[in-house]
Structure 1
């Protein structure tokens, strides 16, 4: 079970690295393609806001990767659980306010990782 938890943590960290890259560096170029329902003129206006959100996603990814590098098992689990809980709550909020799809992209995987840690 510990291997499954580590794999899920790594996948969630990689997802948040992608989100960080997208929001910080590709917001104006890829954003209109991904969010086709939004007006293209919104993306330059919201570039700084998206970059700020991307930075926070980078912090989540860094925390998750850090949890995998900690040698003490109890500390590793505690750090992982904290950052996974942050992802879980952010996913709930995003699903409630932006898109239900966020529930499946963030909340479900982080919830599964939390369960895998608690069962390991």
Structure 2
């Protein structure tokens, strides 16, 4: 279970690095617009806001990566709980306010990883 929890946390971190790239660097490109269902003019007018969101996703990824390699197991556990909890709350909020697909893309994986981390402890 410990290996599974590690892998799930790592996957969530990778997902948030990908979201960072989409929001900070690819927002106005066809790939970025497709990912978020935006028209070119929408993407252009919201690119600064999106870059800010991307930065926050990067902080979530950094915290999750930190939790995977922290030398103190107790601190690492607390970091995992905190950052997965942040991802879960962000996913729930986004799922109920922006797009239901965020529930499946962000909230559900975070909830599964959170359960795996708790069961592995």
TM-score between the two structures when normalised by the length of structure 1? 0.94
Segments of 4+ in structure 1 off by > 3 A?
none
| Distance of 2:34 and 2:103 partners within structure 1 | 21
How far residue 87 of structure 1 moved from its aligned partner, in angstroms, is 0.1
Q: CA deviation at 1:32?
A: 2.5
Using the TM superposition, give the Cα deviation of residue 99 of structure 1 relative to its aligned residue in structure 2, in angstroms. Answer: 1.1
Using the size of structure 2 for normalisation, the TM-score is: 0.94
How many pairs are equivalent? 119
Corresponding residue of 2:97: 97
Distance between the aligned counterparts of 1:42 and 1:16, measured in 2? 22
- What runs of 5+ residues in structure 1 fail to find an aligned partner? none
List runs of 5+ in structure 2 lacking aligned partners: none
Deviates more, 1:84-93 or 1:109-118: 109-118
Equivalent-residue separation in structure 1 for 2:39 and 2:116 (angstroms): 41
